[in-house]
Amino acid sequence: RKEVEQDPGPFNVPEGATVAFNCTYSNSASQSFFWYRQDCRKEPKLLMSVYSSGNEDGRFTAQLNRASQYISLLIRDSKLSDSATYLCVVTGTDKLIFGTGTRLQVFP
Amino acid sequence: DARVTQTPRHKVTEMGQEVTMRCQPILGHNTVFWYRQTMMQGLELLAYFRNRAPLDDSGMPKDRFSAEMPDATLATLKIQPSEPRDSAVYFCASGSNTDTQYFGPGTRLTVL
């Protein structure tokens, strides 16, 4: 079983839609959680950290459920520019463990 | 705007050749990571350094891969001999700690 699992997608949504991604992790000792965004043929970039109480950054909301060991990312009012692959990331032993990503395609 | 730089950006080589990839971390960052990304496996950690000392290279095939940090401004990843299955994008990332990492643009390697 992979340490971080994500639905690869693609999720195809129209502009303005709300879309949510989930991610599960296997290491209950993980302390920090993140969402990274990766555009096609580019490097991953930090989108946001995920806090236990949940946190919001504009149209993006991240939540953590430690009991069930899953993390979610909600994108409201999707824009064409949100099209990318979203990587779920958790801390392992002194390193980051990346999921394989969920691809989002927003269409006009 | 400080960035991680990597060279070369693209490399096409033949099986059996040596490949050297270079990374210049962001000035002041003391942790450097090497990752490999393929469609099938996603992003895999190969090795990382803290204060130039190798901390973990368990993700790296030891027989052909080597990673070094000759000084604080340069990290290298070498493959010798290269094989077609090494074809991937190799990313370098740097940070002040494990949690926050800034990625370079990657080296796209094709081994024929």
Residue A1: its pLDDT value, please?
Answer: 72
User: Is the separation of the CB atoms in A65 and A50 below 8 Å?
Assistant: no
pLDDT the model gives residue A94: 76
Q: Tell me how far apart the alpha carbons of residues A14 and A108 are, in angstroms, rounded to a whole number.
A: 6
Token pair, residue A27, equals: 């290491």
First to last CA, chain A: 37
- pLDDT band of residue B53 (cuts 50, 70, 90) is very high
Match 């269409």 to its residue by tokens: A107
A55, β-bridge pairs: A62
- Each residue's pLDDT tens digit, B36-49: 999 888 899 999 99
Least Cα separation, residue A84 to chain B (angstroms): 15
Asked whether the beta carbons of residue B105 and residue A42 sit closer than 8 angstroms, the reply is yes
Q: Is the pLDDT of residue B97 over 90?
A: no
Burial tier of B22 (Cβ tally within 10 Å: 0-12, 13-18, 19+): middle
Interface contact A43-B104, CB threshold 8 A: yes
- The Cα A62–Cα A23 span in angstroms is 11
Alpha-helix residue ranges (DSSP H) falling in A1-108: none
**Residues ≥6 apart with Cβ < 8 Å to B41:** A100
Asked if A43's CB is within 8 angstroms of B106's CB, the reply is yes
Whether the CB of A99 is below 8 Å from some CB of chain B: the reply is: yes
